[in-house]
Structure 1
Amino acid sequence: MGGQGRTRGRGRVKRKEVETEDGWTVVTHGLSNLSIGKDGGKSGCGSEKVAGALPTDVVQGLTAEKLMGDFKKLQERWEDTSMAKQIEEILNMRHCNIDSAVCIGIGSLSRDWAHRWRSLWQLVLFVDVVTRCKSKTRREAGVKTYAQDPAFTPLDVTFLKELDIEVTETGIENHMVETTFVYSPFVDWYLLLPLFLKGKDPLLYVGNEVLDDYTPYGQSQEKKAKLEECNKLGKDFLVVRDRVKLKEFDLHANALNGMVAYWRREEDLEEMKEDMRAKNGEEEGA
């Protein structure tokens, strides 16, 4: 299971964190000291740019239509990758009767920076899983999809709406139920677990590996303060879940490599519910 303490896999790209003013941090690859300021990326004096600030401008001339074109080109390339084939095989073997899906922390798809392609690739995987699950279950009501990231621009919001993805500024965790697919590449553990997964039991999760012991990674004071809670949340999350490590993604190493998929084992869940009902009955009769 993913809960065993381990070193990260060979070849894993070193990740750094993008601090935001919204209270959560996106783990990125090869970026540091990025910020999204409420003053449009400027310093407190209002005149100088913050060193390493996230670009506030979108790509010149980019429109929702052009963004859709970029996205569809990546979708075509995605189909021939080993990761896409693995996901298809896994979904054909697993229960994926989802009715909602949430996408957390993929970053901006339109800002004028090189990493928007990483964000687009991450979106491709999300949409692929949702599409395959919809085709398997043939839900008449469809699958409701949501996305949240403080870096989204108005153009991102417009584009995502064309994909039937509703953007939420806060509270995306309120859309997570037992029949939800949760996708989070890569929000750090000390934020992902207590802010988004606490008290949640999604059917399918794809993102960072979840551990039952984060002690080796709890170096900062902020992480140490959340270590005990996150260890418990990680252990609880892993109890009734199977784990599959996704294959390496060769087309963009920084976008998808190192992710893990978790499925809730329905038979174990039902057994736990039966034990809980039996226990509650004994307590009431005592």
Structure 2
Amino acid sequence: MAGQKTKARVKRREVESGDGWTVITHGLSNLKVRGDEKENGKGNAKGGKKSVAGQVPNSTVKDLTAEKLLAEFEILQERWKGCPVARQMQELFKKREKVVKTAVCIGIGSFARDWEQRWRSLWQLVAFVHVVRLLSDDNGITTYAQDPAFTTLDMDFLKLLDITTVQTGIEKHISTESFVFSPFVDWFLLLPMFLKEKDPAVYVGNEILDDYTTYAQTAEKQAKLDECNNIGATFLLGREKQKLVDFEGHAHALNGMVVYLKEDEDGEGD
């Protein structure tokens, strides 16, 4: 049911999903959802059924169900407990004023597609749910997720966690009472699409900058450079940054991510 409530830096590359999202990931390039290519008549005729490097597979893991995904998720949750980054999050969030009413998860990837990246996505989901629970009060937090790679199975699985999936427009749910979780969505999409004129209470994701000149190496990025620099500079005002410690459970899941908290809330509840 929609809107239900729930109680060492590694080298990254930019990859493009089937509908144009670009995600900062690890060791992949030219990411495309193979099913979308087939529908658009752009399948690789020479390749036949052979997998093409960088594509998101159209198939899901054999015999996988939402319930089996939930079981995998719960196993990872148990392994998460007590790890250094989980303890760090506990310290950062547990005693803070309970101001968050909504949480949005942007660009986490597919948990069900038949590729190794699904484990990275599951670990990121463990972190997202952990923060939601730390920030939640007795009324709970309404949670949403959006990613173009989601399958029906992904959505069924997230529903078991009371996370509502949306195809577009997740930014409409971001307010001053929101937690934004965005693991490695590229800056020139993240800022103008999801953070423009937004002032979330908590943000966890890739570092926000006030100058992306070094990273604007294509015409598309250069066209958005000034806008993104302005959005980034505005976002950073009144915020404190905390770098997450390295997560040994999966080197590509969280390493390099940061937390932004409002400075005027720092230390409340201590």
Does TM, scored on the shorter chain, surpass 0.5? yes
In 2, Cα distance between equivalents of 1:164 and 1:219: 40
Instruction: Quote the residue 1:167 is aligned against.
Output: 165
Q: Deviations over 1:111-152 (max 9, x none)?
A: 110110000000000000001111xx322xx21100000001
**2:89 is matched with which residue?**
87
Q: CA deviation at 1:223?
A: 1.0
Asked if structure 1 preserves the Cα contact closer than 8 Å seen for 2:18 and 2:31, the reply is: no
Instruction: Return the offset for 1:21.
Output: 3.9
Aligned pairs, how many? 254
CA contact (8 A) 2:94 2:135 kept: no
DSSP-derived class of the 1:144 partner: strand
Which amino acid in structure 2 is aligned with residue 111 of structure 1? R
Residue 152 (1) aligns with residue 154 (2): no
Given the alignment of the two structures, is residue 112 of structure 1 paired with residue 114 of structure 2, yes or no?
Answer: yes
Larger Rg, first or second structure (1 or 2): 1
What SS does the aligned partner of 1:108 have?
coil
Structure 2: gaps (5+ residues): 1-7
Q: Is the 8 A contact 2:104 2:178 kept in 1?
A: yes
Tell me which amino acid in the other structure corresponds to 2:111: L
Contact preservation (8 Å) 1:177, 1:200? yes
Rounded Cα–Cα distance in structure 2 between residues aligned with 1:260 and 1:111:
27
Label 1:117 to 1:45 Cα distance change in 2 as closer, same or farther (>3 A): closer
Q: For residues 44 and 82 of structure 2, what CA distance do their matches in structure 1 show?
A: 48
Unaligned runs of 5+ in 1: 1-10, 269-286
Contact 2:96 2:135 in 1 (8 A): no
Question: Is 1:51 aligned to 2:52, yes or no?
Answer: yes
Q: Which structure has more helix as a fraction of its residues?
A: 1
1:52-100 per-residue CA deviation (whole Å, 9 max, x = no partner) reads: 2211111001111111110000000001210000000011343342010
1:222 paired residue number: 220
State whether residues 100 and 143 of structure 1, in contact with CA within 8 Å, keep that contact through their aligned partners in structure 2: yes
Distance 1:59 1:87 in 2: 31
User: What is the aligned partner in structure 2 of residue 24 from structure 1?
Assistant: 21
2:103, 2:143 within 8 Å by CA — same for their partners in 1? yes
CA RMSD of aligned residues (A): 1.9
Give % identity: 56
Q: TM-score, normalised by structure 1?
A: 0.84
How does the TM-score come out when normalised to structure 2? Answer: 0.89
